[in-house]
Amino acid sequence: MSKTLLLTKSNLKKNRGTSAGLFLLMTIAACLIGISLLVFFDAYPVAEREAARLNAGDGYLSVTGNVDGITDEKIEEIIEEDTESYYIYRNLAYSNNPIPFGNGEVVITSQFSDSSAFEMPMNTCEVVKEDSSVTEDYIYLPYQFNTAGGFETGDTFEVDLGGTKHSYTVKGFLNVAYGGCNNNALYSFVLDDDSYDELAEEGADENIMIIFDLKDDVTVGAFLISTSTEILTLNPMAVVSGYDLPQVLGSRTFMALIIAVSFLVLTFLIVAAVAMMLANCISNYIKENMKTLGALKAIGYTGGDIKGSLVVWFLIIAAVASAVGIVLAYLLMPVFAGIIVGQMGIPYAVSFNMLATVIPAGFVLIFTLLVTLIASAKVTKILPIVALREGIESHNFRKNHAALSSTPLSLNMGLAVKTFFGNIKQNVITFFVIGLMVFSCVVSLLMYENFSRHPKLELLATEICAGVVTSDVDSKEEIRSYLEDRSDIKNVREIISMNFYYNEEAILYTYVVEDPAKMDNQNVCYKGRLPQYDNEIAISGAFARDYGFEIGDEIEMDYGDNSYTYLVTGYIQTLNNAGREALVTYDGANHIVETEMIPGWFWFDLTDESDDNKVNEEEVERIIDECKDKYDGHILSTMNFFEIMNGSMTTFQSISTMMLVIMCTVSVVVIGLILYLLIKSLIYHKRKDYGIYKALGYTSGSLMLQTALSFMPSVIASVSIFSVVWYYLANPYMSTFMGMFGLVKCTFDIPISGVVMIAIGFAVISFLLALVQTRRIKKIEAYNMLVAE
């Protein structure tokens, strides 16, 4: 063992640069794995822990709309048998109301409570941040409004509620289990008592909040369905919505998990690069130290001793790199946590996580051990005498590439091509490493383009449009005709949504669409087709998978006391509602719901849509205002999708921008490190040649240029080939990746100009980095190079 340590010490001392390069690569890998796992292991448990602390129970039922006849006593009768504990609380609600958030607004169900909300024994509202100097006309907003929505205490919060504009001062922010995040389709606000009373007087819908903790043998899905059905028997005009706690927590944390998985993918790309470099370093070590190895073997060192020294050498680097990488992960985590908290809207502090600490270290160490053992296997086979004669040929060129007498290339280019062919292994490594880095940047670009630069709302919404006007039942036809007659809008279509129930087990958030062929988002159906007839239904892929449905199967859906059996025609994709969604036609829904009694939801597109969303936003605003002016009192609500787009995508924008910046930075650092290791080894191997060239009269500049240029064929080939390959494979990759979250068929836009910029950027940066790495040629004089041989 002492022999091995002696050799290890010598290796570490002699190969400081290589050790440092590998150390940095392994540190980056360990750090990224650490961050990914910290997010992965922490996000959901933190949300779960907070929900338990706020006593959120197992779920929450919201009863709103018309709640006449639904008394606390009757509710208690319905739920008492199935629950361990429950709490009934009454407040106010606005369904699908636009709420200012971030750069725009979100259309969401909003619930308003008075100060008694702070006394609730279940689903407690906890104040996270507060300005006690604000004493009147104030509002407490969910914490997400602070972390991602751009609000601070003391700010003015202006909101249109039921057609009346209200202005409140932000007093503080709430940590709340239900209604804390836009992904849950529900926001909970607390007003001062006077403002609350004012809202009640204006005729806001009453909302009954039922928080429940179920008995062990009762499932949340079955409870929500049976209770909803019984409540609807009390009053069929009531609107009942159920929130299952795990589903709520899943919605709050899915973006954090997407980040975690994205980082893990990037980490594996870096790990692949480290593996190639590690194998290359060992191969170089054997080549460079052939005589020494021969001498060591001659004096009695075994192949195992030498291999052991290599293993210990690289394991020491891996161990130190893992430790530093994990510490870095904890140090950098607050930056990531800040962005993740923005999406979750939950107070979060980084804490020690055993698994996230042990796994990166274990992985880096085991991976290093395996690669080292495999790459150093040939050491045992080298005979001492062969090694002493430097038996392994370092130059074995059988073809004179780019013959200088006949090549059309310039002298520098010709010599660069010769260097390229002389270092084909290093160039293959460069080719693949850059290809992997191009992949990570193209995927980041895709996310930035579709989540931030030109947000693609169909990622989050099943249908997209320019605007929506909701009319009361009486004016439905008149308003529809008015909209259809307008020349500035087109494709007026009716779409509503409601909860359908499956077999008292699952709730499906169902889109009832007048004519599915008129939907803008035809990609919503990724397999089969959308329903055309009244006996057809499309269901989400995740639901189909969980409950074993296939296209062509029959499924019985319930609504209240009604039920009907539909034929499954296709699978739809969604990131929302825990992947439990369905889509039927109006005629189809009429089997179990009287759609004529439901207000008219008219979706429309702009006839002349501009490339500038600001212009579109103003145009939709104008149309909505004209509609309101004409049908004052009959318009229940409106939605401007261009405004919603900015609000809904706010949390995704910061995350996708961060991803792009991190991926590009890490890619450049990795390319720099790989080139450093490759060029360092190349210069070492070619030091004699550089001496000869310098003696002949080559300048350092021309030798640096030749060396840097020799990597360019592989760099250019890599960026050219891989930018095209990833351009076409990014969407299939995203489909596989996002499929885990419910988005099965991705049709993201990838800007060709962005991909070209990545390709050119990588080529230029690689050349400049290579040129910088070759500067060591400058420091060595011809005479020293020759005598060094």
Partner 1 sequence: MQNIIETKKLCKTFSNGGVQQHVLKNIDLEIYEGDFTIIMGASGAGKSTLLYSLSGMDKPTLGSITFAGTEITKKNTDELALFRRDHCGFVFQQVYLVDSMSVLDNLMAAGLLVNKDKKAVAQKAGELLKAVNIDEPLWNKFPTQISGGEAQRVGIARALINNPKMVFADEPTGALNSQTGKAVLDTLTGFNEKGQSIVMVTHDITSARRGNRILYVKDGEIAGECLLGKYVTGDKERHQKLNDFLTTMGW
Q: Is the Cβ of residue 370 or residue 403 nearer to partner 1 in the bound state?
A: 403
CB of residue 424 to partner 1, shortest distance in Å: 12
The closest of 562, 560, 557 to 508, measured between CA atoms, is 557
What is the chain's percent helix, strand, coil content, to nearest 5? Answer: 55, 20, 25
| CA-only gyration radius of the chain, Å | 33
Q: Is the Cβ of residue 91 or residue 714 nearer to partner 1 in the bound state?
A: 714
Token pair in block for residue 502: 């499956």
CB of residue 730 to partner 1, shortest distance in Å: 39
CB of residue 782 to partner 1, shortest distance in Å: 5
CB 70 within 8 A of CB 238: yes
CB atoms within 10 A of CB 548: 7
CB of residue 679 to partner 1, shortest distance in Å: 17
For the four alpha carbons of 676, 677, 679 and 684, in that order, the dihedral sign comes to positive
In angstroms, the CA 315 to CA 338 distance is 34
Mapped to the 3 state alphabet, what secondary structure does 37-71 carry?
Answer: HHHHHHHHHHHHHHHHHCCCCCEEEEEEECCCCCC
In angstroms, the CA 94 to CA 79 distance is 25
The closest of 287, 247, 300, 243 to 123, measured between CA atoms, is 243
CB of residue 700 to partner 1, shortest distance in Å: 6
Q: Is the Cβ of residue 353 or residue 700 nearer to partner 1 in the bound state?
A: 700
DSSP, residue by residue, 512-561: EES-GGG-S-GGGEEEE----STTEEEEEHHHHHHHT--TT-EEEEEETT
CB of residue 688 to partner 1, shortest distance in Å: 7
CB of residue 775 to partner 1, shortest distance in Å: 13
Q: Is the Cβ of residue 405 or residue 487 nearer to partner 1 in the bound state?
A: 405
Q: Is the Cβ of residue 262 or residue 700 nearer to partner 1 in the bound state?
A: 700
Token pair in block for residue 548: 């074993």
CB 490 within 8 A of CB 600: no
CB of residue 281 to partner 1, shortest distance in Å: 22
The closest of 133, 218, 26 to 673, measured between CA atoms, is 26
Tell me the one-letter amino acid at 505.
E
Q: Is the Cβ of residue 303 or residue 713 nearer to partner 1 in the bound state?
A: 713
In angstroms, the CA 69 to CA 573 distance is 38
Strand partners, 243: 60
CB atoms within 10 A of CB 107: 24
Applying CB under 8 A, which residues contact partner 1? Answer: 395, 397, 400, 403-406, 411, 415, 418-419, 422, 688-689, 691-701, 778, 781-783, 786, 789
Name the phi and psi angles at 239, rounded to 5. Answer: -110, 115
CB atoms within 10 A of CB 322: 26
Bridge-based pairing of strands 164-175 and 126-130 is antiparallel
CB of residue 26 to partner 1, shortest distance in Å: 33
Q: Is the Cβ of residue 421 or residue 737 nearer to partner 1 in the bound state?
A: 421
CB of residue 291 to partner 1, shortest distance in Å: 16
CB of residue 24 to partner 1, shortest distance in Å: 31
Strand partners, 157: 168
CB 703 within 8 A of CB 690: yes
CB of residue 287 to partner 1, shortest distance in Å: 14
Q: Is the Cβ of residue 397 or residue 533 nearer to partner 1 in the bound state?
A: 397
CB 781 within 8 A of CB 464: no
∠ Cα 227 505 588 (to 5°): 90
Q: Is the Cβ of residue 133 or residue 406 nearer to partner 1 in the bound state?
A: 406
CB of residue 694 to partner 1, shortest distance in Å: 6
